[in-house]
Structure formats: C-alpha cells, structure tokens
Amino acid sequence: MTLAAATPTLASTRQALAESFRKAGIDSAEADARLLIAHALGIDRSELIANGTRMLNAREMQAIDALAARRLKHEPVARILGTKEFWSLMLDVTPAVLVPRPDTETVVEAALDFVVRDGLRMQRLRILDIGTGSGALLLALLSELPDALGTGTDISTAALAVARGNAERHGLSSRCSFVACDIAAGLPGPFDLIVSNPPYVAHGDIATLAPEVRDYDPIIALDGGSDGLDGYRAIAADARRLLAPGGRLIVELGAGQEDAVRALLTKAGLTVDKARDDLGGIARALSVTVAP
C-alpha cells in the first residue's frame, strides 16, 4: 500500500489510512490509524491532533506504510505496538501471550466486589491467577489490593517471562511469583482468591474466529478442547484443594458458556453465584465458593 499524496500532511495521512482500514473491513479504523501513526512517528496523540498541517517526509511515510501493511493483514494494533492497556495498566504483550481484552476486566470487577463486600481489601489476601499470560488479571488485582500477595501460573515459560516483566514495570514484583505448570499442578495453596481466563474456544470454532485472534493469539491460550470446556474441568477438579475456607474462584466465560460451566462446577461440589455481565451484556464472570 502507498499513502503517497502530493502534499502529505499528518491530517491527510491519518484520513487516508483510516479510509484504507475501513475499506479492509477493520472496525476500529479511525483509532487504529491514530495509534499507528503516533507510534511510527514517536509522537503522542495530542501532537497528532494539534499538528494536522505538519508535512511528512518520505522516511516518515515509509515508517507509517510499514505499520499499515501489518494492520491490513489483520495484525492487531496491540501486537504492532507491543503493548496493551488493561485496567489502566500498560502491559507488554509478545506473541507468547493473549492480548488482554476489555471483557476480562469483568473478572477484576467481580473479584474486587467480593473483596470489598467481605471487608478484605487491606488483608494479606493470597491470590492465584491460573493461566496468567501477560499477568493482566493478577497485576490488576495486586494494583488494587495493596497488601495482597499473588501467584501466577502458566504452562508457557515464554508467557511467564512477559508476566514477570509486567510485574516489574508496575512495581509489583515483590508481591508476586510465577510458576510454570499446567493449571495449578503441584501448587500447595490455599488461596483466598483464584481467578482465571482459561482457554475456552471449542477446537472446531477456532477457524471461525476473527483473524486478529485466530492468526495472532497463541492457540494454546484459546483452545479449550472439543467443547471448549477442558480448562474449566481442570480448574473444577483442583478448586476444592486450592481454595481457603471462605475463598472465591472467579472464572471468565466465553459467550454462551454460562450454563455448561455452572453445571460442571456444581457437579464438582462448588457453589456458583449469578454471573456478572460484561459491557456488551454477555455473562462473562462466574463467581464460585466451596459448599460448606
């Protein structure tokens, strides 16, 4: 693609790029154009808006073109930038981790609800994040709970390296540790709060996902087995062992999975609360306790 115009300015380039993204069926065309141009030029958003009449030179246009070509192949902006904001924390992302989604903030909200309702905010809560990836859930919770201690697990050591880096970046590394294991195998527990966004896409549905997800998120973070529920089964099997008395487990749900996940958690001897919806009105977080 070339954005060459007779007199390319910041504003005309931004418009042309947004238009090419729109034509390619990219939903967030305007925002993506802004973010990628700002990144290519090393300027911030306010400069981009304020200096619309600034002329761009050939080198700058090339830098923008190179990023635009990646986005037109449906590489997510977060992957091109190498960062994604989650719960107001800027997190590094690499090909080893899922890009954290706004939907997942519903799990943070549900967890904080439980903590605040039970008056536990200033307690030395022991938190476990199963399949932590970039560390998004664990670090968001530690950033809100000043005395809590956290453990993040992941089967991918490359993912754990990203999570560790993010913990350091936000000054949280003294309160967390990371363990390479499948689900929580070998972890002693107990934990007061367990969160997880497990892989939950049914194997056969992976091909139907948006290319941004299918072609760029690590398959291991998406593939939940033949019915998408393998991750929940593994968590259910370990939950009673891992939860402290009065503790809570909160899992993210894929769209339409509430009934099936509720059934399998109940069968494992757990008590399941009403689901919490995400901003799109989809049941997104299930909160679970051990039946007394």
Stretch near ligand GLN under the rule CB under 6 A, chosen from 55-63, 194-202, 240-248, 269-277: 194-202
Choosing from 138, 222, 243, 268, the residue that interacts with ligand GLN (CB under 6 A) is 222
Q: Tell me if 220 contacts ligand GLN by CB under 6 A.
A: no
The number of beta carbons lying within 10 Å of the beta carbon of residue 182 is: 12
The verdict on 101 binding ligand GLN (CB under 6 A) reads yes
Q: How far is residue 235's CA from residue 31's CA, in Å, rounded to a whole number?
A: 37
97 secondary structure, DSSP code: S
Helix (H, G, I), strand (E, B) or coil at 86: strand
Contact region with ligand GLN (CB under 6 A), list: 25-33, 150-158, 195-203, 273-281: 195-203
106 versus 197: smaller Cβ distance to ligand GLN:
197
Q: Can you tell me the distance from the alpha carbon of 273 to that of 3, in angstroms, rounded to the nearest whole number?
A: 53
**Shortest distance, position 201 Cβ to ligand GLN, whole Å:** 5
Residue from 136, 201, 234, 253 binding ligand GLN (CB under 6 A)? 201
Applying CB under 6 A, which part among 19-27, 76-84, 192-200, 233-241 lies near ligand GLN? 192-200
Per-residue tokens: 158: 């490359």
213 binds ligand GLN (CB under 6 A): yes
Count of residues of this chain found to bind ligand GLN when the rule CB under 6 A is applied: 9
With CB under 6 A as the contact rule, which of the stretches 44-52, 107-115, 196-204, 266-274 interacts with ligand GLN?
196-204
Distance CA 66, CA 40 (A): 9
- 153 sits near ligand GLN (criterion: CB under 6 A): no
Sole binder of ligand GLN in the list 8, 135, 199, 247 (CB under 6 A): 199
Spell out the long-range contacts of 255-263 with Cβ–Cβ below 8 A and sequence spacing 24 or more.
255/282, 257/200, 257/228, 257/229, 258/283, 258/286, 260/227, 260/229, 261/229, 261/232, 261/286, 262/286
Is 100 within 8 Å of 181 (Cβ atoms)? no
Distance of CA 199 to the CA centre of its chain: 12
200 is a site residue for ligand GLN (CB under 6 A): yes
CA separation for the pair 194, 244 (Å, rounded) = 10
* Contact set for ligand GLN, span 26-65 (CB under 6 A): none
Based on the shown chain and the rule CB under 6 A, indicate whether residue 250 belongs to the binding site for ligand GLN.
no
- Among 36, 40, 35, 39, residue whose Cα is nearest residue 63: 40
Among 153, 156, 196, 197, contact with ligand GLN (rule: CB under 6 A)? 197
Residue 1 contacts ligand GLN per CB under 6 A = no
- Where along the sequence are the contacts to ligand GLN (CB under 6 A)? 98, 101, 197, 199-201, 209, 213, 222
